[in-house]
Amino acid sequence: MMVVSLSRVDVLSERLIEFVARVASKISYDQRKLVAISGTSIHKIVVNVVNRVADWVSEDRGGLLWCRLCNRGSFTKRGLYLHLVRVHNFEIKNIVEDELRRELRTSTN
Ligand SMILES: [Zn+2]
């Protein structure tokens, strides 16, 4: 089991909001940028968490994008991306943080 500090999970979660919003909105992101943020040792775990949370926060209804956190829609890709990062950034950060803590044994140092 990987040991990652709580403060690192906090900082990492904050930086992953953008990636979750992109995946949820079907907008591509730079894999290398995500590796640079997460580090190679936990990169796969981070990708899984980002994809899972993105699935939870958005929904594709017949090709139209909806926000599942507040049931608003429909949005364009860009519209949903902006909605998620502006309206739900704090919620997304908290969900990501919970998921990362579940998958990584966190230390209190
Ligand atoms: Zn919403």
Q: In angstroms, what is the span from residue 72 Cα to ligand 1's centroid?
A: 6
Interval 16-45: pLDDT, tens: 999 999 999 999 999 999 999 999 989 999
For the question of whether the overall pTM of this predicted structure is more than 0.85, the answer is yes
Which pairing describes strands 3-5 and 105-107: parallel, antiparallel, or unpaired?
parallel
Cβ-count burial of 96 within 10 angstroms (0-12 exposed, 13-18 middle, 19+ buried)?
buried
Q: In angstroms, what is the span from residue 58 Cα to ligand 1's centroid?
A: 9
Q: In angstroms, what is the span from residue 74 Cα to ligand 1's centroid?
A: 10
Determine the Cα–Cα distance for residues 109 and 68; give it in Å rounded to an integer: 35
Q: ∠ CA(88), CA(31), CA(108), 5° rounding? A: 60
